[in-house]
Structure 1
Amino acid sequence: MFAADAAAVPVRGGTLSLFAQPEPPSLVNALTPHVASQYVGGKIFQGLLGFDPQLRAVPVLARSWRASADALTYTFELQPGVRWHDGQPFGAQDVVVTLKEIAPQALPRTKVTFDKYVASIDASGPLQVTIRLKKPYAGLINLLGSGLLPILPAHLYQGKDPRSNPANQHPVGTGPFVFREWKRGAYIRVARNPDYWKKGLPYLDGIVFNVVPDAAARSIAFERGQIHALRAGDVDYADIARLAKLPGVEITTQGWELFTGMAFLELNQREPPFDNVLVRQAVLHALDRQFIVDRIFFGYGKVANGPFVSSSPFYDPNVPRFAYDPERARALIRQSGVDVGKFPLVLINGEKGGAWERVAEYTQQALGQAGFRLRVQTTDAAGWYARVANWDFDLSYNFLFQNADPDFGVAPLYRIDGISKGSPFGNVEGYRNPQADALWDAAALDTDPAARRARYAQLQTTLANDAAIANIFEMVNPTVYRRNVHNLLRTATSVNDSLEDTWIG
């Protein structure tokens, strides 16, 4: 997987067996940035850039790029000789349509960023794209390399509603693997792209993503050698240490350098009782977040303090903290004057079995002790996505990778202009604070790092005191894999990457 793999001679052929857990709501990850969609879609679709483990931008569909002296114009030279899986040539128009037309419709937080910073996106040549900015935006390269903006074929998507496009049912990308079959509830199959633009790749004949709803059955399948690798969440966290000790098996937390996830509980603030800030603060005091990390995720995490992960260069260690204190939770509810028990609340859970369902059940118990009347409703990933994206929830657990600059990776969860139906990864809770928005705006424009840190520190205090989102824990992502699987984690975007040079031998 790492340095030792470089000396080994790759073996061609073989089919990699993985899990699709949960079964993705869509395979077109440009439209559905759910982690399950990114996992499968990352083999079919590609973006302009990627990141190596040292978080340096590397070429993908863009072979080179340059910025003007004033940092307002970026020019991208595209790879020649690339073809879509249906044989059509890839070119600048595909990039323009994806970034200018499709992404703003499908991805609310991308739309917020583009509206704020991007003046124009043009095809300045058949294989050249020019992006002009309204003002300097240091996060542009991070955004384009984050895995969140794979390019879609203009000849299939231009001028059409991207969400209802029939092309979504048979994805056509430029990646190393071609979509072959999706038997719902059973498996997703992709096959080697014989015309891949990187000659000699991929090594694998194909990949099968197996849909196995039961966590215990997934663990047994790995034990029996039927599965080559496990991501975080593929099996019960209680089983990870045991499975990692099997003969011929390794475990690592490397390969997720770009993806520092924050797990949080969203509280719909449009109606009582969560329109009251004291009630929201009470929720944080009612939840034993260390228990969640230690007993449900078996140590693969770190209790969150505020909206930024602690690895962020802008994290403020002095952010207000809401320690586990059930009596304080009940006191805040009394102080609020809200009879929280009269509201029948539903927590939407998008995964049956495993850690997330147990977190939901624990939350039901803990908030019940504080006086809330709460039940858990479990659905599949597609159902969860639709409910949360359309604000049809009272509470919901979610997590988001805080990749890239905070202005893109965090801000859309809290900004007023992030309130938009269609995606569960924006301001779905309905938090509104114009003063906080002003701080986001000012911090994004600060060119002095110290001034920017100070602005973000003020912002973190504001968001924490407002309990805008109940941030629960920072995620740590283990990958368990068999030693005969090589080059599994070669970039900073984990197993969500293309696996173009992964091989079995």
Structure 2
Amino acid sequence: MNRRDFNKLMLMAGVVGTAGIPLGIRRAAGQTRGGTLDVIIQPEPPVLVAAINQQAPTLTVAGKIYQSLLKFDFDQTPKPGLAKSWEISEDGLTYTFHLYDNVTWHDGAPFTAADVVFTTTVLLAETHPRARGNFARCDSVTATDDHTVVFKLKEPFGPFLQCFEMSSCPIMPRHLYEGTDYRNNPHNATPIGTGPYKFKEWVRGSYIRLVRNDAYYKPGQPYLDEILYRVIPDAASRSVALENGTVDLTQWGDVEMFDVPRLKQLPHVEFTTKGYEFYAPLLWLEFNNRIKPMDDKRFRQAVMHAIDKDVLVRKVLFGLARPATGPISKATKFYDPKVKTYDFNPAKATALLDQMGLKPDGHGKRVSLTYLVPPYGEVWMRFAEYIRQALSKVGIEIVIEAIDIAGWATRSGNWDFEITAPWLYQFGDPALGVSRTYVSSNIRKGVLFSNTAGYSNPEVDRLFAEAALAVDPAKRQELYSEVQRLLVEDVPVGWLVELDFPTMYDKRFHDLIVSAIGVNDDFDAAYYEG
């Protein structure tokens, strides 16, 4: 496909403005500098600052701009990020990080320990749904010199190192954000990080362009000249772009799952589901527990019995998922397979609804609820349509409402929904990625991916708190098994599937997927071999 044909395709998809889309010039031989990586980004992110927004498209792009202290291997073993080394005291209370001393921000200012202290104690406490709780565990965070940071915990916290992954703790420039309105800081439009790629331009509705950071602290890296994220709203056009080699990389839900079986067989395409281990994304129906009849667990239980998860896996997600059984993914530590399960049984669902007094009217309708569909592609609309069909058979009418990504985030965070279907990450440990959805202390209006369902159970709060502080793995398993038992009985959200997202990329690119956060990592070692 030549440039004219591609621009014609993009015009049909409604994504090319008068500026056009710069075409990547691919060159390089071996692990040397050169080449452009063309990537789909879908949907277009609302902002590129990971500290402000933790939605998947934001993190994918922001991971090349911002960094944290650590990275993680596929088995979630920590590796150096901005910290070249670290020590943990014998009592598990003191974590000392030694930072690289040759790192600069993209505007040339030096990166120092003061940036780490500011980010973890001030900025993220206001803007980040998980970091606030993670770093509230610290008794103090101090910079003992420009390149050493000491975190002293109030009590031992086993997964503390995992708090320093990029999406969990993106380090922000203190000199640009201190004393400002973080969410409206003018630098949000032109993000400044320490990563291997610098923000160059963003033509809304068309593309986001990142270029090599020539002042990167690792000698000779990164190898690529630039990364071009192309906004292609039309699902068919995204598949064609990968098929014809116009784009080199698709990730998450860029390509509709019904197209994956065909596209992964293309001779120039490499396919993998690796690189999502740290996230272990779990998708559920989120019920607003504040609204009748969803404030009654019998209703939520009925919904679980009315949905056939195997159909979702086979017919909607084309095998790129597994049925979920509860709040902890099978891929995450402390999963308990012995919890109560909800079999597909519409008769049980009907009995529970009758027991509640939700009787059908003359048309068989018991209640009508609006389903706010996450705007991540056609497959999620098909997902919603299956839910509507399944629930209609037990008298629950679902009205589907489509919305853009910014609107979905705002309404979900502000509890302005009845039902929606997010997928959240587990971050390797229930204390990091699971408890946030269910503990009452994290009911925070305006903060996306907190306890937006509004569920509250003091015993669940207690169990999560004790499990996070327990040192013995056997004790943690005991506590997490009990909390899973309680949650599966209460069904604050309706767990449906554990997702296996597909990543497909041109075989001429190497070292793209090298960590447990895969496409969200910084790509500082990625190279093109033509």
TM-score by length of 1: 0.96
Equivalent position to 1:283, from 278, 303, 323: 303
C-alpha distance after superposition, 1:45-68 (max 9, x if no partner): 000101122321111111111112
Aligned position for 1:375: 399
The residue that corresponds to 2:482 in the other structure is 458
Deviates more, 1:247-256 or 1:60-69: 247-256
SS in 2 for 1:108: coil
2:220 corresponds to 1:200: yes
Q: Deviations over 1:150-205 (max 9, x none)?
A: 10100111122211111111100000111011111111111111111112111111
> What letter matches 1:172 in structure 2?
I
Q: Does 1:91 align with 2:115?
A: no
Match of 2:380 in 1: 356
Please give the alpha-carbon distance, in whole angstroms, between the structure 1 residues aligned to 2:377 and 2:68. 33
> Structure 2: any 5+ residue segments left out of the alignment?
1-28
8 Å CA contact retained: 1:235, 1:354: no
Structure 2 Cα separation of the partners of residues 441 and 347 of structure 1: 32
The 3-state SS of whatever aligns with 1:309 is: coil
Identity between Structure 1 and Structure 2 (%): 41
Give yes or no for contact 1:146–1:404 (8 Å, CA) kept in 2: no
CA-CA distance at 1:451 after TM superposition:
2.0
Corresponding residue for residue 448 of structure 1: 472
1:75 and 1:130 in contact (8 A); partners too: yes
Corresponding pairs, count: 497
Report how far residue 289 of structure 1 moved: 1.2
Partner of 2:283: 263
User: Deviation string for 1:216-246 (max 9, x for gaps)?
Assistant: 1100111111010111311111111211111
1:27-46 paired onto structure 2 within 5 Å: 27-46=48-67
Of residues 441-450 and 239-248 in structure 1, the stretch that sits farther from structure 2 once superposed is 441-450
The answer to whether the Cα contact below 8 Å between 2:198 and 2:212 also exists between their aligned partners in 1 is: yes
* Distance of 1:438 and 1:255 partners within structure 2: 33
Question: What SS does the aligned partner of 1:247 have?
Answer: coil
Q: SS at 1:452's partner residue?
A: helix
- Match in the other structure for 1:406: 430
- Partners of 2:202 and 2:407 in 1: how far apart? 18
Residue pair 1:259, 1:401 contacting (<8 A) in 2 also: yes
2:5 maps to what in 1? none
Residue 308 of structure 2 aligns with an amino acid whose one-letter code is D
Within 5 Å, which residues of 2 pair with 1:192-341?
A: 192-338=212-358, 341=365
Tell me which amino acid in the other structure corresponds to 1:46.
Answer: Q
Superimposed CA distance per residue, residues 447-471 of structure 1 (whole angstroms, 9 cap, x where no aligned partner): 2222221111111010000001111
Measured in 2, the distance between the counterparts of 1:356 and 1:291 equals 14
Q: 2:20 — aligned with what? A: none
Is 2:141 the partner of 1:121? yes
Contact conserved, 1:28 with 1:37, CA < 8 A, in 2? Answer: yes
Report if the CA contact (8 A) 2:92-2:156 is conserved: yes
Report the alpha carbon displacement of residue 278 of structure 1 after superposing the two structures with TM: 0.2
1:66 counterpart residue number: 87
Alignment pair present for 1:111 and 2:132: yes
1:119 is displaced (CA, Å) by: 1.1
Q: Distance in 2 between matches of 1:409 and 1:195?
A: 34
Partners of 1:416 and 1:343 lie apart in 2 by: 28
Q: Is this contact kept in 2: 1:146–1:258, CA < 8 A?
A: no
**In structure 2, the residue corresponding to 1:180 is in which secondary structure?**
strand
Aligned-partner residue type, residue 281 of structure 1: Q
Cα shift at 1:489: 0.6
Kindly indicate whether the alpha-carbon contact (under 8 Å) linking 1:22 and 1:36 is maintained by their aligned counterparts in 2. Answer: yes
Matched residues in 1 for 2:166 and 2:216: separation?
22
2:163 is the alignment partner of 1:143: yes
Q: State the TM-score, normalized to the length of structure 2.
A: 0.91
Contact preservation (8 Å) 2:70, 2:83: yes
Q: For the residues of structure 2 that align with 1:191 and 1:59, how far apart are their CA atoms?
A: 23
Residue 344 of structure 1, CA deviation:
4.0
Q: 2: CA distance between counterparts of 1:449 and 1:83?
A: 40
Match of 1:154 in 2: 174
Looking at structure 2, the residues matched to 245 and 372 of structure 1 have their Cα atoms a distance apart, in angstroms, of 40
CA distance in 2, matches of 1:477, 1:50: 20
Deviations 1:282-340 (A, max 9, x none): 11111111111111110011000111111223111111101111121111111112458
Q: Distance in 1 between matches of 2:359 and 2:416?
A: 22
Whole-angstrom distance in 2 between the partners of 1:305 and 1:350: 22
Instruction: Give 1:81 deviation, angstroms.
Output: 1.4
The one-letter amino acid of 1:415's match is: V
Structure 1 gap segments, 5+ residues each: 1-7
Of residues 146, 150, 157, the one that matches 1:130 is 150
Q: RMSD of the alignment, in Å?
A: 1.5
Q: Hey, what does 1:4 align to over in structure 2?
A: none
Residue matched to 1:3: none
4+ residue stretches of structure 1 with deviation over 6 A?
Answer: none
SS in 2 for 1:200: coil
Q: Is the 8 A contact 1:51 1:146 kept in 2?
A: no
Residue 275 of structure 1 aligns to which amino acid in structure 2? D
What's the counterpart of residue 518 of structure 2?
494
What SS does the aligned partner of 2:201 have? Answer: strand
1:146 and 1:403 in contact (8 A); partners too: no
Quote how far apart the aligned CAs of 1:477 are: 2.1
